[in-house]
Chain A
């Protein structure tokens, strides 16, 4: 295992009942990489991402995070999840808490951070995404784009080593996609390691360093973004790109 490999996925399989969703997936994520995962719907992209922090428990195979096999029953997954930020398609902000509480809850309760310091840091992060004035609002009072930016800040507040994005712009109105992508671009520019399941081909092409193309539960192509878009090898990928790029 190379030194700078943050996540290593080995022979990962996942079945839901008779449905075999992931078939022998092998890959690794290096520090500082921005990996876009693309593919037709139902190809297993989201399931693959959710296996990386064990929201989905693999049927067989291993996921190593910072050298530790998190699929091992003896591993305390809660400890590792603190270092793996996750952003969901449906935002999933805690509806019963204000924006500020959403962000500070985990640092205060889990990291035992001083509440005052946690609030200060939360406000700083909110300011960076342009939402400092929404600190006392409830999620129900925010637009989709605002919710997703808060969700990103909530994950960042735990100072994760990697951020997982599960179709972060798919539930947004078109005019709000840009503001969320901008936050993600900034994050990438700062060197955050990111794994992004996305349908935003422009993001995959311009921001990611590597693109993983999945179809039928398998990784069909896994190459640097520029190469993959300029010269796709796999037939399924060619077909997929011709469909999504000609829209």
Chain B
């Protein structure tokens, strides 16, 4: 009970810290999801394609990114790239834009690898007979993909993609290591001024949970809508 009161007072007092953090986390997650999905789609197309070199490239990329920690990827982009002369530009009016861009890039590069696998497996899970039936009628492979395979693959892809979105929101807490003022970073600020680390962390956890829970409910809603349409 006492702990709960501590949390409430902490939250009311440092409310501006937390809300600023939430805003930045949401911006980060939105851009990551968007860019990650584009990148993932591209990689999935490469991996499913007939051209061996691009298939190989996509494979190496996916395996490597999924096999190394996100934290290292983030640090590599923000601290490592400037050492070889590549820096993220500091835009006017947006504070810390270089940090943000590095963070979004690293997160997108990471998420893209996972999204690629989600899309690939979603497409491959569609029964081969569907493709064979379409081809036997005279449909070209592109038409078959568009009319028969993709509409069915979406239903496999969407739930897993929803999970990935939730993961992105949670994992975005890692970018605080390069000084992006996301929810985790702001929570640390609150801790360093109040020394109430447990209460602050609990508040942050609840906020993260609300964000992920709302996201997963939204995805579930979209899934149901889709199921109504075609089943």
Contacts and interface: CB of A to CB of B under 8 A. Distances in A.
A197 B106 CA distance: 55
B138 A158 contact: yes
Interface string A82-93: 101110101111
Interface stretch (A10-18, A22-30, A104-112, A128-136): A104-112
A78 B134 contact: no
Contacts of A93: 133
Contacts of B134: 94
B139 A109 contact: yes
Contacts of A189: none
B15 interface: no
Interface in B118-147: 127, 129-130, 132-140, 143, 147
A158 B135 CA distance: 13
A82 B137 contact: yes
Given A81-B137, A106-B138, A96 B143 contact: no
Given A90-B129, A109-B143, A138-B230, A81 B135 contact: yes
Contact of A110 (B130, B133, B138, B230): B138
Given A92-B127, A92-B132, A158 B137 contact: yes
Contact of A55 (B136, B138, B152): B136
A109 B137 CA distance: 11
A105 B147 contact: yes
Most buried by B among A53, A95, A151: A95
A151 B152 CA distance: 19
B231 interface: yes
B26 interface: no
A81 B141 CA distance: 13
Interface in B211-228: none
A154 interface: yes
Contact of B129 (A53, A92, A96, A110): A92
B230 A96 contact: yes
Contacts of B133: 86, 88, 92-94, 151
A138 B231 contact: yes
A110 B151 contact: no
B136 A84 contact: yes
B148 interface: yes
Contact of B132 (A55, A84, A154): A55
Nearest to B128: A92
A88 B148 CA distance: 17
B230 to A, nearest CB: 5
B231 A140 contact: yes
A140 B137 CA distance: 21
Contacts of A91: 129
Nearest to A111: B138
A180 interface: no
A230 interface: no
Nearest to A138: B231
A82 B130 contact: no
A171 to B, nearest CB: 11
A109 B147 contact: yes
A227 to B, nearest CB: 32
A78 B231 contact: no
A36 interface: no
A245 interface: no
A96 B151 contact: yes
Contacts of A106: 137-139
A105 B139 CA distance: 10
B231 A55 contact: no
Interface string A50-78: 00010100000000000000000000001
Given A92-B129, A94-B133, A94-B134, 12 more contacts: A55-B132, A55-B136, A78-B138, A81-B136, A86-B133, A88-B129, A92-B127, A93-B133, A95-B130, A106-B139, A109-B139, A110-B138
Interface of A: 53, 55, 78-79, 81-82, 84-86, 88, 90-96, 105-106, 109-110, 138, 140, 151, 154-155, 158
10 contacts: A82-B137, A82-B138, A88-B132, A88-B133, A90-B129, A92-B132, A105-B137, A138-B230, A155-B136, A155-B137
Closest 5 CB pairs of A and B: A82-B138, A92-B133, A92-B129, A86-B136, A106-B137
